[in-house]
Each structure stands twice: as C-alpha cells, then as structure tokens.
Amino acid sequence: MRRLLVPLIGSMLLLAACGGSGGAGSTAATSAASAPAASSPATESMAAASMSEHMTESMAPSAGAAADDMHSSMTEDMHSSMAESMTESAADPMTGSMTDPATTGVSITTASSTFGDILFDGNRQAIYLFDKETTTTPDCYGDCAAAWPPVLTTGSPVAAGGINAALLGTTTRSDGSTQVTYANHPLYYYAGEGPGEVTCHNVREFGGLWLVVTPAGEAAAA
C-alpha cells in the first residue's frame, strides 16, 4: 500500500506545479500583449522629422505670398517716391506752381523801390521801358542794345509777385531772339546796374526816355 501511494502523490505534486506555472505564464503573456509597445529613440526621431517636413511644406506657400506682398509694396513705394520727387523738381521755385522745364522762361516779379513797386526779374535786376517804342516792335539795336540789353527769354515768361499775367507777353527781335513785353512795352535792363539797383529812371538816351515800369504796366512817376 505504501508503495502505491508514493508514486501517486508524486504525480499529483508534479501536476500541481505545472498548472501553477502555466497559469502564471499565461497571465504574464496576456499582460505583455495588452500593454502598449515601448517607443524606441529611432522611432521618435523619425516621427519628429516627418512632422517638421510637413510644417515646412505648409508654411512655404504663406512665406512666398508674404514675400510677394512685401516686394509689391516696396515697388509701389519706390514709384510713388520717384513720382513725388519728379513733381517737386518741376515746380517753379518762385511761384511754387507747376511748370514745364523745357518751356519755362525768365521770371518777372515786382519789388519796392524809391519809385514805388516796379518790375524786376528773378535776379532782382530792374526792368525798364523805352518810351520811343509805341508798339511791341523793338527799336533798340546796336549800341542802344549794348547799353540797354533786352529782357530775353527761351520760353514763356513766368509771372511772380504782383505781376498781372495777362499783361505779360513776348515779341520777336530782328535776330530771332524772344524779348519779353509787359502791357505791350518791350522790356530792357540797364547794363551799368547791379541787382537791386535803380539808377537810370527817367534818363534820356538814344532818342527817348528810359523809365521803370509799375505793376499796372505804366511808367513810374519821375
């Protein structure tokens, strides 16, 4: 009887040990299968690179559009600045009005003197009429023109100060040059005067009187 029990007990112990082992092993395997797989450093690096590439591609069109907008804005500003600069350079420095540089002539203005307000050019040179001339046709040439140079212009004269623009005009001299007129009087300088000087009013030379001119287009009082 004893001999029969020993083998039987040994078999039962062996069975119990295998069942316990198997159960524990199965549970451990199930837990390992259900747990999330651990990420390796290589996997994380690849994911980050993919995300960076995607963000770069998404931002590229926006960056390109921003660059185009900036270029367009800078171009418009440059054109606007150039146009403003050209407009300012075309303005007459004495009147501030727009003029064409190709056709702008001598500036005729007014200033006070011993004889009241009279005509001067833009360089403050006094201007005279010759009472011998009763029309716009000049009659002062040769020695007369050397002493009393005509007020010449290469374009339309510009009215400034108290000048009446309606009285301002031109006439053609025998040599083809253009002389300025005011109220139909051909205008002259005196060669011996400097800027701002008025020393030859009511002087008789070359067959007539030389007189400074008022803004009304008349000879100033003697």
* Tens digits of residue pLDDT in 26-35: 333 333 334 4
The secondary structure of residue 202, as a DSSP letter, is T
CB 170 within 8 A of CB 108: no
Question: Looking at the predicted structure, is the pLDDT value of residue 149 above 50?
Answer: yes
* Band of residue 24 on the pLDDT scale cut at 50, 70, 90: very low
Domains of the chain: which residue ranges? Answer: 104-212
Q: What is the mean pLDDT of the chain?
A: 74
CA-CA distance, 118 to 216, in Å (whole number)?
9
> How crowded is the C-beta side of 72, counted as CA atoms within 13 Å?
6
Q: What digits encode the pLDDT tens for the residues 25-70?
A: 333 333 333 444 444 444 454 545 455 454 545 444 454 555 555 5
Separation between Cα atoms, residue 115 and residue 119, nearest integer Å: 11
3-state secondary structure at position 3: helix
The per-residue pLDDT for 222 is 84
Indicate the pTM of the whole model: 0.56
What are the residues whose beta carbons fall under 8 Å from the beta carbon of 216, sequence distance 6 or more? 164, 183
pLDDT of residue 72: 57
Give me the pLDDT at residue 13, please: 43
Do residues 211 and 188 make contact, with C-beta atoms less than 8 angstroms apart?
A: no
Residue 112's CB: how many other CB atoms inside 10 A? 8
Ramachandran area for residue 9 (φ above 0: left; ψ -120 to 50: alpha; else beta): alpha
> 3-state class of 43 per DSSP?
helix
- Per-residue pLDDT at 77: 55
pLDDT at 133: 98
Determine the Cα–Cα distance for residues 48 and 26; give it in Å rounded to an integer. Answer: 37
Q: In the 8-state DSSP scheme, what is residue 184?
A: T
What average pLDDT score do residues 141-168 get? 98
Query: pLDDT, tens digit, for every residue of 166-191?
Result: 999 999 999 999 999 999 999 999 99
Q: What percent of the chain has pLDDT over 90?
A: 53
Show the tokens assigned to 122: 């833009």
Say which range, 59-68, 111-120, 209-218, has the weakest mean pLDDT.
Answer: 59-68
Most confident of 16-30, 67-81, 126-140: 126-140
